[in-house]
Chains A and B, each alone.
Chain A
């Protein structure tokens, strides 16, 4: 029913208690929020939980959302804060990441080479500190501008640029150390 509604109408309907309208918002943003959480935490189960919680929290606090702001920035901020809290709780009880699930594919040779390469990038990402990984996810997965990333992570824009710059340097170093330089030309 709500599939053809524009975002503002959906949000207004949600505020009136139309939970189906909210469902449509969830449908539109769930991939982006889940990808963000997965990139931040590297744990699919945690990412799923937080995606769920973020939409519930956002609904409960919808009256605080200002329509003149981008909804994506707001929901990403909520998800990002929830991820950070999750990380705090498990700081001293790190979750062992799930076994490498990157395997298989329809075209064996091509798929395999690609999966190995992506698996290596992911392994290098695992070694990056959380503070450096998060802006990378927002920039290269969610494709956000620096000022939006700054707002979500609650740091100055200059810091976002610094962290992305440093993250890339560290990634390259890690990949060089692991003998993965073939895949990174610059």
Chain B
């Protein structure tokens, strides 16, 4: 496994550093067991999302609050659970489709917005003009697939006129004009070494 001195030194450095701080892990297993013991059974993330985005009678403001809550939950958990919602969103699979980052296939964009009547995608790939998303199976998740050349793309969703630039499936999020834009890098590096 180790081809040269540097590799040995890296291993030694990582191990040494971990050993220096290992006392922080003292009793972690009991702490976690106790923490979990004291909880009620947790619903799966899918249930949580369904609860959050369940159709409400609260009207437009209610929709926005629900959307904001959903966005916040998504933001907090990052891309961690999203592959469960839509396997196509997993960056590994997106990149696998690319055949090592040379030619790229389809990129999927999706957003949960169960009470929305119109969801569009705007970004540097469409001159910030609306590309509509669809929710054909009425599960509240709107989606669209685009074929993009390798590059860096900024984008945002617009849900019933409201901009939402914090896509948890994004590679990065940047501030733009006081709001947020999401960023996807298409065709990340591969095979140049």
A interface list, Cβ under 8 A from B: 17, 19-20, 22-24, 26-27, 30-31, 34-35, 38-39, 44, 47-48, 51-52, 55-57, 59-61, 63-64, 78, 81-82, 84-85, 88, 101-102, 115, 117-118, 121-122, 125, 136-137, 140-141, 143, 150-151, 154-159, 161-166, 168, 171-172, 183-186
List the B side residues contacting A52 at CB < 8 Å. 28, 31-32
Residues of B within 8 A of A168 (CB): 6-7
B interface, CB within 8 angstroms of A: 1-2, 4-7, 9-18, 20-22, 24-25, 28-37, 41-42, 44-45, 77-81, 84, 90-92, 95-96, 98, 100-101, 172-173, 188-193
CB-nearest residue of chain A to B24: A48
B78 touches A184 (CB 8 A): no
> Does A59 contact B96, Cβ atoms closer than 8 Å?
no
Cα A1 to Cα B92 in complex, Å, equals: 38
B contact patch SS: helix
Where chain A touches its partner, the secondary structure class is helix
Instruction: Jot down 8 A-B pairs with beta carbons below 8 A, ordered by A.
Output: A26-B29, A35-B17, A38-B18, A55-B32, A60-B42, A102-B20, A118-B12, A159-B95
Q: Nearest CB to that of B26 among chain A residues? A: A30
Of A35, A85, A122, A156, which one neighbours B95 at CB under 8 angstroms? A156
Asked whether, in the complex, the Cβ of A31 is within 8 Å of the Cβ of B190, the reply is no
Q: Chain B's nearest CB lies how many Å from the CB of A10?
A: 12
Contact of B188 among A39, A51, A84, A156 (CB under 8 A): A156
B36 to chain A, nearest CB (A): 4
B176, chain A: closest CB distance, angstroms: 14
Contact between chains at B101 and A156 (CB < 8 Å): yes
Task: List A contacts of B44 (CB < 8 A).
Answer: 61, 63-64
CB-CB nearest 8 A-B residue pairs:
A158-B190, A141-B14, A23-B33, A165-B193, A35-B18, A154-B91, A23-B29, A154-B92
| A166 and B193 contact, Cβ closer than 8 Å, known pairs A30-B28, A88-B173, A159-B188 | yes
Minimum distance in angstroms from A133 CB to a CB of chain B: 10
Contact present for B5 and A64 (CB under 8 Å): no
Q: How far is the CB of A156 from chain B (nearest CB, A)?
A: 5
For A57, the closest partner residue in chain B by CB is B80
A162–B189 touching, CB < 8 Å: yes
The answer on a CB contact under 8 Å between A122 and B17 is: yes
Contact B33 A20 (CB under 8 A): yes
Say whether A34 contacts B22, CB under 8 Å: yes
Chain A residues lying within 8 Å of B29, measured Cβ to Cβ, are 23-24, 26-27, 30
Give min CB distance, B177 to chain A, whole Å. 17
Assess the B78–A81 pair: CB atoms within 8 A: yes
Partner of A184, one of B9, B16, B80, B101: B9
Q: Given A27-B29, A88-B173, A81–B14 Cβ distance below 8 Å?
A: no
Residue pair B96, A156 in contact (C-beta under 8 Å): yes
Are A31 and B18 also in contact (CB < 8 A) when A159-B190, A183-B9, A185-B4 are?
A: yes
A56, B36: Cβ atoms under 8 Å?
A: yes
Tell me the bound Cα distance from A27 to B20 in angstroms: 18
Contact between chains at B28 and A51 (CB < 8 Å): yes
Assess the B191–A34 pair: CB atoms within 8 A.
no
Whether A101 pairs with B20 at a CB distance below 8 angstroms is yes
- Cβ contacts under 8 Å, B20 to chain A: 101-102
B80 and A81 within 8 A (CB): yes
CA A172 to CA B192, docked complex, whole Å:
19
Of A17, A22, A156, the most chain B CB neighbours within 10 A belong to A156
